Structure 1
Amino acid sequence: MTAKVQTIELPAQTATDWFVPLGAVVVVFVMLVPLPAMLLDVMLSVNITASVLVLLSAMYILRPVQFSVFPSLLLLLTLYRLSLNLASSRRILLHGNEGASAAGRVIEAFGQFVVGGNYVVGFVLFLALIAIQYIVINHGAVRIAEVTARFNLDALPGKQMAIDADLNAGLIDEAQARSRREQITREADFYGAMDGAARFSQRDSLATVLITAINIVAGFLIGVFQLDIPFQDALKTYTVLTVGDGLVTMIPSLLVSVAGGMIATRASSQASLGLDLGEQLMARSRPLWIAAGVMMALALIPGLPKFSFVLAAAGAGALAWRAGQKKTAQEAAAAAAAAPAPASTQEQLDTLLKLDDLSVEIGYGLVPLVDEKQSGQLLQRIRALRRHLALQLGFLVPSIHITDNLRLKAREYVVLLRGVEVARWEMEPDCLLAISSEAAPPNLEGIITHEPAFGVAARWIAPALQQQALAAGYAVVDQTSVMATHIAEIVKQYAHELLTRQESKRLLDTLAAAQPKLVEELVPRVLSLGEVQKVLQSLLREQVSIRDLPTILETLLDVSAVTKNPVLMVEAARQALARALVRPLMSDDGKLKVLTLDPEIEGEIVKAFDPNAAASASGALQPSFLRRLLESLRGLLGEQLAAASPVVLCSSPARYHLRRMLEPFLPRLVVLAPTEIPTVVAVQSLGVLR
């Protein structure tokens, strides 16, 4: 028996993977081992370079989370800087008697050139930097990080709810919602880490002050009592070296602290800090002109240097003039962009002849419902509506174009299908629609009307009566919801006309990417694209979802071996979709409530039509037969409408023709065959059509 060796793939190692562990080893090495002056110079130079790099990186980020490594980097740089402080202190105390270069050329340069070799000036400058960093920058950065972290955590539930609301409304998909949740989680973690990391930098300043004081006192004592250096020489030598060391340490610390403050105060933007400053300071020329005037006024005051203030006034004036020119150019560009480009005669003709599959024309009084600048939400609702209908119907409905029409009444709208009006409705100004599901709705002050999508009783009421209407059992909706619901029902009613051959081809191509064998066997070997489209249209015509396209195509592939009659193929597809077909029709108690068809009427329908015929049946029977059937159906519906929305149950041979007979009069009525009802579904009869 041979043992199988399992190999585990590890992430690819890069040079940066070794940087942090190596840095930790270097910190320990620097703390424990005396360093030569040359190596100390190199490490101090690296410290200054890293601090400058951090500061510049903080200036060029667009969002704080783009530099999410900063809290950890701040900790590492602080430890590295403190270890260098220990190493330089060791060099100063052990070799300070060797001269100004005892601790390296970097410390010597800061002690001699920067402060001019004057240890008093250097010490005062060092104390000034300590005051600036500790009292101003560090304290402010700590406070900003603390407040930002607290407010960010407080806003976290609201951000999560906003993402869930956008997801439920269909404005974003699941992947976008997951990405946004990860982003706000990263932001919360970042600001929490910044709150703690800022305190490292604050305490680093105190440590530098203590180390400097210890170095001066200890160096003076060592020089005077152990090395017999004269009092004045010992004080000067060790003070200059210690102050130089303090400046070398303090300046990088100051740069990192400033970077931390910039990151903590940086709001999300589309440009770097420098571009934002230039864009916002020069957005308005008036403040710059005022500043130029103030500088010029100061230049006229006796005793003040005129050249300096005149130069400052000239600079501010030049910036003000440049800002004015830039604003004028932007306004001209915006006007040019807003102006429509002249279209050629052919383009105008093409636009004129183009028909939208689905469009809505509105009166001028309904424009605020569409205009997002006036808080109109209709466009947003329609975007969410298209997503919802795609999930419900199984294909993406065309874009719904909304235009204003001055020939309509102020608050009237018209729904057009390929340029032909299919629905029209007028709304009352400044009113809400109160909808009642009861046959005799409770009394409520308002304008009696009916809901446009389903035709139920409703009233236009004033917004002040909303609570009263809710208490009376009405459902109250705003005009945007009324319009969106009406459009949705129109789309469902005419979905079969919106499923074009091109859209059918797109559905098959999408499915072919996942199940190529199924599509390849069916189209075009067995059925043409047009035949598949007719089946899908017939299903949509009876408001059957085609989302389960694989099941439909597999059924067509099986049935087509026996018959290619469109009616029989549709009936077979409906039976394959039985569970999905019946589930939305069941009542809350889990029963399917139906109206059954009298066997005698059913027999007349079957005899009147050839089972293989696909034409409309409305002209194959006497008008009196159809009138009697409609009167019976409407009578039963009038009695049962308040309790349920029943369907008609009849045999399979009669189902298709009965549905075509009733469709012009009751387009939403569902006609089922017993073979389309799963055996586990309980059926309750509400009456018999005679």
Structure 2
Amino acid sequence: MTPGLNLRNAGRFAGAAALPAGMLILVALMVIPVSPLILDISFVANIMISLLILMVALQASKPLDFSAFPTVLLLATLFRLALNVASTRVVLVHGHEGTASAGHVIEAFGQVLIGGDYVVGLFVFVVLMIINLVVITKGAGRVSEVSARFTLDALPGKQMAIDADLNAGLLTPDEAKARRQEVATEADFYGSMDGASKFVKGDAVAGLLILFVNIVGGLILGIFSHGLSFSEAGSTYVTLAIGDALVAQIPALLLSIAAAAIVTRVNSPLDLSGQIGSQFASPTIWMAVSGILFILGMVPAMPQMLILPASAIAGVIGWQLRRAAADQAAAPEPAAPAADPHHIDWADVSDASACQLEIGYALVALVDDRKGAPLMTRATGIRRQLSKELGFVVPPVKVSDDLSLPGNVYRISVAGVIVGEDEVFPNEMLALDSGDLVAKVTGRPCKDPTFGLDALWIPKAAQNDAIAAGYTVVDPATVVATHLNNSIIASAAELFGIDDAQALIDNLKLHYPQLAQNLSPQGYALPRVAALCKALLIERVPLRDFRKIAEAMVALAAQQLGDGDLIEAVRQRIGALIVQTIVPSRMPLPVVTFSPEIEVLLNQAVRANPGAEWPFEHGMAMKIVEQIGQAVEPLLLSTRSFALVASPICRPALSRLVRATFPDVAVISYLEIPANKQTEIVATIGAEVPRLGAAEDAQTKDEYHEN
């Protein structure tokens, strides 16, 4: 074992043993008689500990920075009470020997601080008791009680706010866990402080009772046991009792001040002195104080030699603060260090932004804050909405200008790949042909960047005329935002990675810990979970209800399925989720089906090339795509929701084939449709397909007859 490790272990052992040893010392002070020297050392240690606690309380930026204060306050109070017991024993046993018999600390407090007059000392002690018990302790106790009540009442709301921020993607699971821990610690702290304030109040009352016991007991013992006169016994024992009470009461006053400072603190990045100094640093208030004091000093019979200098001091402070503020405002900002032309950073060769929107110089007005930044506002709303729809946090969209682009051109990139590019005119409006026009308007012909519809760029002044003619008119920011929205949806799988899969699992752990434990890593490795989620996103299946997806994966874990089979099996188990993304739950599902002959050919092609990415013969694939287009294009133009239904055998390959031409068409299998879901056949694909090769044709006919 290394020496460093030995020292570290020894330090941990010493720290763990310090508290039990300290408690034993407290008990020993209460039970075992101690010498005046040990009593003096303990009194000095008590004063030092009280000062240390007060300094820590004053330096804390917020109450939780000294979260151990309630426990420390309890231990310090017990230490002081143990000293009271030990000093009472010494005073009563050896008090007849003189004021030095109880140690030099008690003698010093009894002689120096009160001048040897025990009557004066008695009044000084009473004044300290009033300050501590009636003012500081009572106020701190009330603040602790109110703070504890308000903190506990606000606890459910804070927890709900953290959950809302987590669901909105504003917090990571680790940040949410830390926030929950902080809220719980805050509630525990204020609840403990409510009880700890009672320690301070009880300590003050105990000090008063101990003084009474020392005075009465000392007079009785001095007169009846040691033969002292009443005057001699009063002078000796009352002086010692008051000195002992003051020695204990001053640390108690320090702890009361520390407790009051802690419970009255407001969260701030500054400590107490810095916070007070920053709030008293206004030159205006110092000038006002100086003026008022000057007017007061001019009143006859006022002590002008005191008030007028105070007015001058306040005026000088205000003038200095105003001068410092002016110098700070006029001081130039420090220049950034010149970049080393030979230094190459990672930022020069890579960009961490997964989504980028690059704009030409003529489109800068769309992101200008002084003009409302309409495009930035829409981009933020799109990201928030898509995060809810897709089921994971969509990364921020980085908007930047690119001088290499033409002025009116914008470019959308996802994961480094350009997925959209077009041009808009910031001072014009886009009029979309709705197909039901009552008149024509003049403008610059173009195609809608998102849907490819016929459109015109028209002047803003012609907007009302275009609307009256039946056009749908949108502004340039909406055109870009809509294109961005569809581009992110189409590329959602490219934005999803292993870190996002881990975030889904971490969120699952918060609400369904056993399910998350069986999902990963016991059931599936994290890369496989991410791959399945990406496969679902490619086919536009959202991850909103990840719990249902995780339950399906856990239920299928024992079957040891391959990746492709696992995806299909999971889809079948979450079929209700897939179908509800196509049509609402109360509406029948419109479906486009294949004739039995076509479906047999599709199945046979897949069986003939098991595991192939593109199992269909080229001519057959082209004919199938053509016939699908003839069937679905009217439905797409009418914006009607539907699904292309095929057998589970050919669904994956058919989906890849259809997605290349019709990315918005959902391809599902019969097994993915819930048993209680009504369907409506809106089209059937059954036209003749191209002939296959002779051998393949014979095999296909045989298998067709077998089926």
Do they superpose with TM above 0.5?
yes
TM superposition shift of 1:143: 0.4
Correspondence 1:669 to 2:662: no
Q: SS of the counterpart of 1:266?
A: coil
Correspondence 1:38 to 2:37: yes
Q: SS of the counterpart of 2:487?
A: helix
Show the counterpart of 2:77. Answer: 78
Relative to structure 1, the CA distance from residue 622 to residue 183 in structure 2 (aligned partners, 3 Å threshold; closer, same or farther) is closer
- Alignment map for 1:282-293 (pairs within 5 Å): 282=281, 284-293=282-291
Measured against aligned partners, the alpha-carbon deviations of 1:425-479 in whole angstroms (never above 9, x if no partner) come to: 99xxxxxxxxxxxxxxxxxxxxxxxxx9999xxxxxxxxxxxxxxxxxxxxxxxx
Question: What amino acid maps onto 1:56 in structure 2?
Answer: M
TM superposition shift of 1:67: 1.8
Relative to structure 1, the CA distance from residue 541 to residue 206 in structure 2 (aligned partners, 3 Å threshold; closer, same or farther) is closer
Distance 1:156 1:506 in 2: 30
Measured against aligned partners, the alpha-carbon deviations of 1:253-303 in whole angstroms (never above 9, x if no partner) come to: 000000000110112222221222222221x21112222333444444555
- Alignment map for 1:389-400 (pairs within 5 Å): 399-400=396-397
Contact 1:358 1:398 in 2 (8 A): no
Relative to structure 1, the CA distance from residue 91 to residue 605 in structure 2 (aligned partners, 3 Å threshold; closer, same or farther) is closer
Distance 1:119 1:99 in 2: 14
Question: What amino acid maps onto 1:217 in structure 2?
Answer: V
Question: What amino acid maps onto 1:598 in structure 2?
Answer: S
TM superposition shift of 1:50: 1.0
Contact 1:223 1:234 in 2 (8 A): yes
One of 585, 594, 598 as aligned partner of 1:597 = 594
Q: SS of the counterpart of 1:248?
A: helix
Relative to structure 1, the CA distance from residue 64 to residue 33 in structure 2 (aligned partners, 3 Å threshold; closer, same or farther) is same
Q: SS of the counterpart of 1:170?
A: coil
Question: What amino acid maps onto 1:209 in structure 2?
Answer: L
TM superposition shift of 1:94: 2.3
Q: SS of the counterpart of 1:172?
A: coil
Relative to structure 1, the CA distance from residue 324 to residue 639 in structure 2 (aligned partners, 3 Å threshold; closer, same or farther) is closer
Relative to structure 1, the CA distance from residue 107 to residue 423 in structure 2 (aligned partners, 3 Å threshold; closer, same or farther) is farther
Measured against aligned partners, the alpha-carbon deviations of 1:346-365 in whole angstroms (never above 9, x if no partner) come to: 99xx99xx999532878979
Show the counterpart of 1:477. Answer: none
Q: Where do 5+ consecutive residues of structure 2 fail to align? A: 1-8, 403-407, 427-448, 453-476, 502-520, 554-559, 686-707
Distance 1:235 1:377 in 2: 83
Show the counterpart of 1:199. Answer: 198
Distance 1:16 1:658 in 2: 66
TM superposition shift of 1:240: 1.9
Contact 2:589 2:678 in 1 (8 A): yes
One of 678, 684, 693 as aligned partner of 1:689 = 684
Contact 1:149 1:191 in 2 (8 A): yes
Q: SS of the counterpart of 1:101?
A: helix
Q: SS of the counterpart of 2:357?
A: strand
Distance 1:539 1:316 in 2: 72
Contact 2:599 2:646 in 1 (8 A): no
Question: What amino acid maps onto 1:647 in structure 2?
Answer: L
TM superposition shift of 1:112: 1.1
Show the counterpart of 1:100. Answer: 99
Relative to structure 1, the CA distance from residue 423 to residue 170 in structure 2 (aligned partners, 3 Å threshold; closer, same or farther) is farther
Show the counterpart of 2:702. Answer: none
Distance 1:268 1:133 in 2: 26
Relative to structure 1, the CA distance from residue 670 to residue 96 in structure 2 (aligned partners, 3 Å threshold; closer, same or farther) is same
Relative to structure 1, the CA distance from residue 670 to residue 106 in structure 2 (aligned partners, 3 Å threshold; closer, same or farther) is same
Correspondence 1:328 to 2:326: yes
Distance 1:260 1:224 in 2: 42
Show the counterpart of 2:310. Answer: 312
TM superposition shift of 1:214: 3.0
Relative to structure 1, the CA distance from residue 312 to residue 15 in structure 2 (aligned partners, 3 Å threshold; closer, same or farther) is farther
Question: When the two structures are superposed, what TM-score results if normalisation uses the length of structure 1?
Answer: 0.66
Measured against aligned partners, the alpha-carbon deviations of 1:576-633 in whole angstroms (never above 9, x if no partner) come to: 875588564235599987421235667999999999897999999999x978754533
Q: SS of the counterpart of 1:586?
A: helix
Show the counterpart of 2:696. Answer: none
- Alignment map for 1:219-618 (pairs within 5 Å): 219-282=218-281, 284-301=282-299, 304-306=302-304, 308-332=306-330, 358-359=356-357, 384=384, 399-402=396-399, 416-417=412-413, 418=418, 420-421=420-421, 487-495=484-492, 542-543=539-540, 578-579=571-572, 584-587=577-580, 588=585, 594-598=591-595
Q: SS of the counterpart of 1:228?
A: coil
Relative to structure 1, the CA distance from residue 333 to residue 585 in structure 2 (aligned partners, 3 Å threshold; closer, same or farther) is farther
Single out whichever of 66-75 and 166-175 deviates more from structure 2.
66-75
Show the counterpart of 2:643. Answer: 646
Show the counterpart of 1:473. Answer: none
Distance 2:59 2:538 in 1: 58
Contact 1:416 1:423 in 2 (8 A): no
Single out whichever of 184-193 and 87-96 deviates more from structure 2.
87-96
Relative to structure 1, the CA distance from residue 172 to residue 453 in structure 2 (aligned partners, 3 Å threshold; closer, same or farther) is farther
Question: What amino acid maps onto 2:664 in structure 1?
Answer: R
Question: When the two structures are superposed, what TM-score results if normalisation uses the length of structure 2?
Answer: 0.65
Show the counterpart of 2:115. Answer: 116
Q: SS of the counterpart of 2:592?
A: strand
Distance 2:669 2:145 in 1: 68
Distance 1:367 1:323 in 2: 37
Distance 1:31 1:572 in 2: 76
Contact 1:415 1:422 in 2 (8 A): yes
- How many residues are matched? 577
Distance 2:261 2:354 in 1: 52
Distance 1:321 1:250 in 2: 42
Correspondence 1:153 to 2:147: no
Relative to structure 1, the CA distance from residue 185 to residue 330 in structure 2 (aligned partners, 3 Å threshold; closer, same or farther) is farther
Correspondence 1:143 to 2:142: yes
Measured against aligned partners, the alpha-carbon deviations of 1:546-600 in whole angstroms (never above 9, x if no partner) come to: 999xx9xxxxxx99xxxxxxxxx99889658755885642355999874212356
Distance 1:50 1:635 in 2: 85
Relative to structure 1, the CA distance from residue 415 to residue 92 in structure 2 (aligned partners, 3 Å threshold; closer, same or farther) is same
Q: Where do 5+ consecutive residues of structure 1 fail to align? A: 1-9, 406-411, 427-451, 456-479, 508-513, 523-532, 552-557, 560-568
Show the counterpart of 1:461. Answer: none
TM superposition shift of 1:12: 9.0
Distance 2:38 2:498 in 1: 74
Measured against aligned partners, the alpha-carbon deviations of 1:475-517 in whole angstroms (never above 9, x if no partner) come to: xxxxx99998985443022457879xxx99999xxxxxx99xx
Contact 2:297 2:303 in 1 (8 A): yes
Relative to structure 1, the CA distance from residue 365 to residue 482 in structure 2 (aligned partners, 3 Å threshold; closer, same or farther) is closer
Relative to structure 1, the CA distance from residue 45 to residue 453 in structure 2 (aligned partners, 3 Å threshold; closer, same or farther) is farther
Single out whichever of 113-122 and 308-317 deviates more from structure 2.
308-317
Question: What amino acid maps onto 1:317 in structure 2?
Answer: G
Contact 1:356 1:419 in 2 (8 A): no
Contact 1:171 1:384 in 2 (8 A): no
Distance 1:484 1:197 in 2: 58
TM superposition shift of 1:62: 2.0
Q: SS of the counterpart of 1:229?
A: coil
Contact 2:94 2:102 in 1 (8 A): yes
Contact 2:605 2:615 in 1 (8 A): no
Show the counterpart of 2:434. Answer: none
